[in-house]
Amino acid sequence: MSDSTARRPLRADARRNYERILAAAQEAFAAHGAGASLEEIARHAGVGSATLHRHFPSRRSLLEVVFHDRVEALCARAQERAEESEPGAALFSWLGDFNAYAAASRGLAASLLHDGRDTDLLQQNDSCKMMITNAAGELLHAAQQAGAVRPGVHAEDLLTLVSAISLATEHHDDGRAGRLLDIAIDGIRPHRHHRAATNREAP
């Protein structure tokens, strides 16, 4: 194994500041979204902005750590869903979980879509995105095996879609997110025969 988490014991005050920044960031992102002021976070944590930038070289790296625990819980939830339901239902209800998590912690969806322009070239450490993609991928694969989802759909596409929905509905308090998610879920269900081109069923 690599020594990624404990490269060097990290001095006590440094660790303390690290945690303070994290707490302040969690609060700020929840209150003002993923674009919250980093300087404000540093101020609220009682450290200089230089300290924040040393611990977290980019806004993205901060988001990554802040959301890590939550993402881990979400992935664990995927496991539970897989065990307690049949594949199709497991995937669909987990997508609901995802949406709920994204709504509860603003900025998560934006962070997952990650616009690419932030870190420009280094994109190896987007562990959150990878964790979720993997979790979604397993549920999706099982659902496809069971015939509850049609084969053409890929995990990344699905994740992009629900992230996009969560991001777009972040500011609407009506049930829009749920309705759009339902549309998306119906959209990945298998086609039932595609009967004829035009249907002329009079209601």
Residues near DNA (CB under 7 A): 8-14, 16-17, 37-40, 46-51, 53-55, 57-59
Distance from the Cα of residue 182 to its chain's centroid:
18
Residue 57 interface partner, choices a copy of itself, DNA, none, CB cut-off 5-8 Å depending on type: DNA
Site string for a copy of itself, 60-89 (x = CB under 8 A): --------------------------x-x-
d(CA 194, CA 200): 13
DSSP character string of 62-93: HHHHHHHHHHHHHHHHHHHHHHHS-HHHHHHH
120 is an interface residue for a copy of itself by CB under 8 A: no
Q: How far is the CB of 26 from DNA (least distance, A)?
A: 16
Residue 59 interface partner, choices DNA, a copy of itself, none, CB cut-off 5-8 Å depending on type: DNA
Could you tell me if 150 and 13 are in contact, meaning their C-beta atoms sit under 8 angstroms apart?
no
Q: How far is the CB of 85 from a copy of itself (least distance, A)?
A: 11
Burial group, residue 30, by CB count within 10 angstroms (0-12, 13-18, 19+): middle
Question: What does the DSSP 8-state code read for residue 114?
Answer: -
Could you tell me if 29 and 21 are in contact, meaning their C-beta atoms sit under 8 angstroms apart?
no
Handedness of CA 112, 22, 135, 122 (dihedral sign): positive
Per CB under 8 A, contacts with a copy of itself among 8-47 are none
Segment contacting a copy of itself (CB under 8 A): 9-17, 68-76, 119-127, 168-176? 168-176
Q: How far is the CB of 17 from a copy of itself (least distance, A)?
A: 30
Q: How far is the CB of 171 from a copy of itself (least distance, A)?
A: 5
Burial group, residue 184, by CB count within 10 angstroms (0-12, 13-18, 19+): middle
Residue 146 interface partner, choices a copy of itself, DNA, none, CB cut-off 5-8 Å depending on type: a copy of itself
- CB neighbour list of residue 119: distance below 8 Å, 6 or more residues apart: 58, 60, 61
Residue 192 interface partner, choices a copy of itself, DNA, none, CB cut-off 5-8 Å depending on type: a copy of itself
Residues that bind a copy of itself (CB under 8 A): 86, 88, 113, 115-117, 146-148, 152-154, 156-157, 160-161, 163-165, 167-169, 171-172, 176, 179-180, 182-193, 195, 198-201, 203
